[in-house]
Amino acid sequence: MENTKKIIFASDHAGLNLKRVLMDYFRPNYEIIDVGTKETSSCDYPIYAKNLCIKVLELEALGILICGTGIGMSIAANRYKGIRAALCLNEYMAEKARQHNNANVLCLGERVVGVDLAKSIAQTFLTTPFEGERHLRRIELIENL
């Protein structure tokens, strides 16, 4: 069971604006942990994906990774054993990512989704529980790949 009161955030330069908006949006109700980047200068997203994955695993919290498309972050994050990162473009995907895949990292693309949609996707992701049962067996199969 995740620590649902903490959210770990990370982005590269291309996701920095949306990350700031989402951190402000969720700050009243969650403890926010930002593992970078904090600069607008161009940087390499795998470094921040790594920072976030380490924290998510350590704190058993949910994480949100943002880059330009969300694709690079999701590819990088899914290299980590125990990380299930889901790139979501709408609330339905966010809901199923939690219910069926027990995703612990949400990936967003700042250049792909608008601010209001991103807030709604993240809200859905953070508040939807894992359904367990048959889905647990499938996740265990993934862990053993």
**Interface positions with ligand RB5 (CB under 6 A):** 12, 14, 45, 67-69, 71-72
Rounded Cα gap, residues 145 and 140, in angstroms: 9
CB of 17 to ligand RB5, least distance (A): 12
Q: Which is nearer to ligand RB5, 21 or 139 (CB)?
A: 21
Residue whose beta carbon is closest to ligand RB5: 72
Rounded Cα gap, residues 65 and 46, in angstroms: 10
CB of 79 to ligand RB5, least distance (A): 14
| Known active-site residue 135 | no
| Known active-site residue 43 | no
Rounded Cα gap, residues 30 and 24, in angstroms: 10
Q: Which is nearer to ligand RB5, 7 or 76 (CB)?
A: 76
CB of 6 to ligand RB5, least distance (A): 24
Options 53, 67, 88, 107, the catalytic residue: 67
Q: Which is nearer to ligand RB5, 61 or 107 (CB)?
A: 107
CB of 59 to ligand RB5, least distance (A): 25
User: Residues 6 or more apart from 53 whose CB is under 8 A from it?
Assistant: 63, 77, 80, 83, 105
Which of 126, 115, 109, 120 lies closest to 15 in space, CA to CA?
109
* Amino acid (one-letter) located at 3: N
Cβ proximity of 59 and 6 under 8 Å: yes
Task: Find the helix or strand (DSSP H, E) in which 92 lies.
Answer: helix 91-99
Active site residues: 67, 100
